[in-house]
Each structure stands twice: as structure tokens, then as C-alpha cells.
Structure 1
Amino acid sequence: MVMLFEPQPLELFATDKAPARLTRLREKLRYLAECGVDYVLCVRFDRRFAALTAQNFISDLLVKHLRVKFLAVGDDFRFGAGREGDFLLLQKAGMEYGFDITSTQTFCEGGVRISSTAVRQALADDNLALAESLLGHPFAISGRVVHGDELGRTIGFPTANVPLRRQVSPVKGVYAVEVLGLGEKPLPGVANIGTRPTVAGIRQQLEVHLLDVAMDLYGRHIQVVLRKKIRNEQRFASLDELKAQIARDELTAREFFGLTKPA
């Protein structure tokens, strides 16, 4: 069994300072299942739970309700009100209540400590290869396609719109992508992640234009794998300038995937 917390503590206590999420809960559950995890306990992290003392966390949750026999935690794991609980306290509790405890040591890849902070920095540096190496899989964003303003369709580039329900996105800009969830094979495309400044957009969202594929995607859940950063998001003086740039972005994506434009 794996225990995780939703929302993340910083999202409760310091919303404006909470770091960008790398995965949504749905993605976490899928990755854990792929690793062979049979059960996941998702604890609602609210102010009531946050007020739980470290001792009560151990005695009530771990011992009384979960009847823990073996516990593995990260080497920097802290718990309980005021972050008072640590690995040493868990060791003492293990001797008292009769459960074994171990700490997962820090893992490094190419001399870099594997952590969410390192992954975010790699993404901020547009180093998708390093992010993939640290994650163990390509970085991807998933979500359900919703109705948009259909601006892309009016300028010749229809898009699938996925709202980003994150306060902060770990990536921004235009990317060559592969879209999963629409068939047996990934579909190539070009995507914009950002606020669409040319049309005075405010909310961050993901817009994906599939290459050489036309289908109704509304309501479909898709996974968008980032393969290559094409450029940063920018504001254009007119829709004609935006259309011309999107055409160049599509050409760049086609070159990356080795595709030619249909006659």
C-alpha cells in the first residue's frame, strides 16, 4: 500500500508559493499501478488533518487504523503538526508498537539528486531529456478535452483544449508532442501551453493541434507527451501574424517527426 496526500501541504498553507505539480492524482494512480502497487490510500490533507500531532499520526492512523507492520518513508519525510515528526521518531515508535521502519535513500542520476525540484528545474531549462531521465518516463500532461472558443479552427489550426487545473504549470511555450489515448499508436502534434497573450487570455491551458488527423475529441481524456521545445509563448500584433507563426511551428514539428505536409 502507498499512502499519499491530496492536496499537497503547500497547496493548503501557501497557495501562492506552492510549486508546480508534475502529475495529477489520476496520473499518480496510473504510474503506481504500473509499478505493481495493489492499494493506494489517498489522505485528504485539510486543516483538521494538518493539526494532527505526530504522535497521533502514528498511534491513530498508522497503528490503530492501518495496523502497519512495515513502513518505508523518504529520507526527508516530516509529519505531524508543525512538522514535528521525523524518521527518528518513527524508529522509536516502531520499537514501541512493533513495526519495522526503513528510509529510502536519496537516488542520483548523472550526479543529480532525483527530486521534484530537479525535475522542475530541468523543465524550466527546456531540458526534456534530463527531465525524462529523472522521472523514468517522458514528461506528459493529461486531461479531458473541453469546448474552447474555436479560435484555432477559424485560422486553420483546430485544437483540442485541455484546461490546466494547476496554479502553476511547470512548462510554458510551444512543443512538438505525441498524443496518447486516441488509438493504439501515439499521434504527432504541436501544442501550446500558456495563457494565449495574443487574444488576451488569462487562464493557463493546453492546446493541441494534431498533424494530419481530424476527429471529434470533446470529452476524451488524452495524455500529451512533450517531445521537443519549439519556442516560448509570445504575443503577436495580429491574428495574421499568429497564424503565420503557427504554420512555422507546425513545419518545425513535422521536421522533428519526419513528416511531410500533405499535398
Structure 2
Amino acid sequence: MTHAAATRHPFPVLRDGDALPPGLAAPVVAIGNFDGVHRGHRAVIGTAVDQARSLGRPALAVTFEPHPRAFFRPSEPIFRLTPEPMKLKRLSETGLDGAVVLAFDAAMAGREAEGFVADILVGRLGVSMVVAGYDFHFGKGRGGSPLFLREAGRRHGFGVEIVAPLLDEGAQVSSSVIRAALAQGRVEQAAHMLGAPFAIEAEVIHGDKRGRELGYPTANMRLDPAVTLAHGIYAVTVEIDGAVHKGVASFGRRPTFDDGAPRLETFIFDYDGDLYGRALTVAFHAWLRPELKFDGIEALIAQMDVDSARARAALDQGRDPG
């Protein structure tokens, strides 16, 4: 049995204070924030997994929570492509043998790069190799550059591999580029960079029941205010009890009615069940139109009929998960 087969189920997640179990000793680590676990991140992770297999070592991700920007700029909330639970789920699907989540707090922010290497990478984890992206920096004042990491590896006796940026049609694949695409409703471009459709997980809450009165009962979700996905109508899929259902969703302020706080409202095709209080994952496959204000209910319902037909067509034409 390979090491990966022995340890990947369940996917171990170690936090500050957790001892590294013997089965994960001398790991090859991929290190980064990994928000989105996009194709660029997967290039780093895949390199670590390949190196680990060639060395007969376990492969771990080392990541940080909360996102460092949330610590340094708390008044500027960051649109997380993958909040921690989703990020760990995505990491568990990459071939890694586990993850180490380091708390990003004042102590971490003030730790010098050399101290991070000596205390955490060497002292706590006993790494055999570190794999990082070309732009990864760490330590106080971002003093730990890729060049510093290479030199530290030579001094401390571990290997270092720096992965070049992943380009998509000449453009760099990055979390910030993906956020910008989503802010413009370009969910298909975001999916291409992510390697999967952008998805949101949230709890279904009680709404005003207006959708049911219109013939379109919806699952309503209140999202993190930091989510800057463009307001509009989308073709989506929703996972319920392991089954994937197609649907159409509106994200926005409902200008025809109350112009209130942004909310995600999803009409799930051919489904009738009680979803209140359940956490659902909604994946965005195609942008249909911007959010509009209608003069009356009849005009709104007519447009909802059109939106539903367009969503079904978009998903039936292969934009659903492959």
C-alpha cells in the first residue's frame, strides 16, 4: 500500500500545537495561502506531490488562516474564493496527504523569515523539501523571498523548488485575477482559471416566500458581505445529498421589490424539498444577464421564464460539471 493510500482518508489537518504524526514525518510541503486552490496553486501542489512520491515521502500543504490580508487590513474584507472549509476540501482532492494550517496572528506576522524556517519548517515539520510559487513571500516585512528560501534550504539541509507562474493565453492565473473576473460576472473565465466552476457554500435561510408566490420557490442564502460576485442571473448547479441539480440563481438586491442587502436566491429545477437550515453548495456555470428592475410582477415572471429556459439550455449544452 502506498503512503498516500494509507493516509489520505480521512484527510488529516494539523493546527498549531498538533504534533506531526509519524506517518507524515519528513514531508515535502507545498506552502502558500492557496485561496481558490486554482490551477496556478495546483501546479505548486502537483510539483510537491510528484517530488514526494519520487522521494517516498508524504506531501503536505502548509497554509495560513485567516488570510494574511485580513490581519493586515481588517477594514478591507477580502473576497475569499474558498473559505477555510472549502479550501481544505479542495486541497484534499489534489493528491496531498494532509494539510498544516498555521494561525496568522500578531506572532506570526512578527516572526522573522529565518525564525519561520528554523522554528516551523525545520523544527516542527522537519521538511525534506519545500515547494512554493515564484511570488511567495513570508516572514516579517515579507523578508522571506524565493531566493531567501533557496539559501535557507542549503543552510538547513532541505530541498527547495520554486514554481514559475502559470499563464493562460499570456495572462497569469492568480486569485486576484479570478476575483476581478467574478466581479464582472465572467464566471466561465473564472472556472477556466480555477479548474472548476466557482462555488459558494452557505446555509439556506427563510426569505419572504415571494418566490413561491411567483411560481419560483427559491433557496435563499445570505453571503459574506465581502463577496463581490457581480449582481445578476446565473445558470447554476446545486449539490443536495450527493446529487447535482440544475437551476437558475439571482444574486443581488431584488430592485423590483426592496433593493435590500445582497442575497443569493436559487430556483432548483424539478426539486421540491425542505432545505431550510441546510448548507448547500451552489456552483456558477454561466452568466445570463444583469439584475434588472421590472415595472410589475407579470413582466418579472415572464423574464424568469426566459431566464429558466436559458439556464437549462446553457447547462444542457455542456457547461455543467464535466
Q: TM-score range by the shorter chain?
A: 0.7 to 0.9
Q: What code does the residue aligned with 2:151 have?
A: K
Q: 1:126 to 1:170 in 2, by over 3 A?
A: closer
Q: TM-score, normalising length from structure 1?
A: 0.87
* 1:41 pairs with 2:89: no
How far off is 1:48 after superposition? 2.9
Shift of 1:75: 0.7
Residue identity in the other structure for 2:154? M
Render the CA deviation track for 1:165-187: whole Å, top value 9, x for unaligned.
25133343111111123443x21
Cα pair distance change 1:196/1:5, threshold 3 Å: farther
CA distance in structure 2 between the aligned counterparts of 1:95 and 1:135, rounded to whole angstroms: 34
Aligned 1:148-159 pairs, distance under 5 A: 148-159=207-218
Aligned partner of 2:278 in structure 1 is 220
1:6–1:170: structure 2 CA closer, same or farther, 3 Å change rule?
Answer: farther
State the shift of 1:97 in Å: 1.5
- SS for the counterpart of 2:205 is coil
After superposition, what is the alpha-carbon deviation per residue over 1:37-66, rounded to whole angstroms, capped at 9, x for unaligned?
121111221223212222221222212111
Change (3 A) 1:258 1:84: closer
What is the CA deviation profile of residues 93-131 of structure 1, one whole-angstrom value per residue up to 9, with x for unaligned ones? Answer: 212211111111111122221111222233344333322
AA at the equivalent of 1:46 = D
**Greater shift in the superposed pair: 4-13 or 150-159:** 150-159
Give the partner amino acid of 2:285: R
Verify: 1:116 aligned to 2:205, yes or no.
Answer: no
* Cα gap change, 1:14 to 1:235, in 2 (>3 Å): farther
SS state at 2:266 partner: strand
Residue 145 of structure 1 aligns to a residue whose secondary structure is strand
**Within the alignment, does 1:191 sit opposite 2:249 as a pair?**
yes
Partner of 1:167: 226
List aligned pairs for 1:21-60, cutoff 5 A.
Answer: 21-60=80-119
**Aligned 1:23-102 pairs, distance under 5 A:** 23-102=82-161
Q: Is the 8 A contact 1:21 1:169 kept in 2?
A: no
1:189 touches 1:208 (CA, 8 Å); kept in 2? yes
Identity fraction in percent: 37
With normalisation by structure 2, the TM-score equals 0.72
Q: Is the 8 A contact 1:194 1:205 kept in 2?
A: yes
| Conservation of the 8 A alpha-carbon contact between 2:204 and 2:275 | yes
What is the distance in 2 between the residues matched to 1:21 and 1:191?
20
Q: In the alignment, is residue 131 of structure 1 matched against residue 190 of structure 2?
A: yes
**Aligned mates of 1:13, 1:195 — CA distance in 2:** 30
Is 1:248 the counterpart of 2:303? The answer is no
Show the counterpart of 2:40. none
AA of the residue aligned to 1:9: P
Q: How big is the shift at 1:202?
A: 4.2
CA 1:85 to 1:234, structure 2 compared with 1: closer, same or farther past 3 Å?
same
Please tell me whether the aligned partners of residues 134 and 163 of structure 2 are also in contact (alpha carbons under 8 angstroms).
Answer: yes
Judged with a 3 Å threshold, the aligned counterparts in structure 2 of structure 1 residues 237 and 17 are, in CA distance, closer, same or farther, namely farther
- Contact 1:182–1:222 (CA under 8 A) maintained in structure 2: no
Alpha-carbon distance, 1:82 to partner:
1.7
Range with greater deviation from structure 2 (212-221 or 193-202) = 193-202
Residues in 2 aligned to 1:67 and 1:133: alpha-carbon distance in whole angstroms: 36
Deviates more, 1:23-32 or 1:127-136: 127-136
Q: Which residue of 2 aligns with 1:105?
A: 164
Q: Show the counterpart of 1:143.
A: 202
- Distance verdict in 2 for CA 1:194–1:42, change over 3 Å: farther
Cα RMSD of the aligned pairs, angstroms, is 2.4
Q: Where does structure 1 lack aligned partners over 5 or more consecutive residues?
A: none
Give the match for residue 232 of structure 1: 290
**Which SS does the other structure have where 1:68 is aligned?**
coil
Q: CA contact under 8 A between 1:20 and 1:168: conserved in structure 2? A: yes
Partner Cα distance (1:183, 1:72) in 2: 34
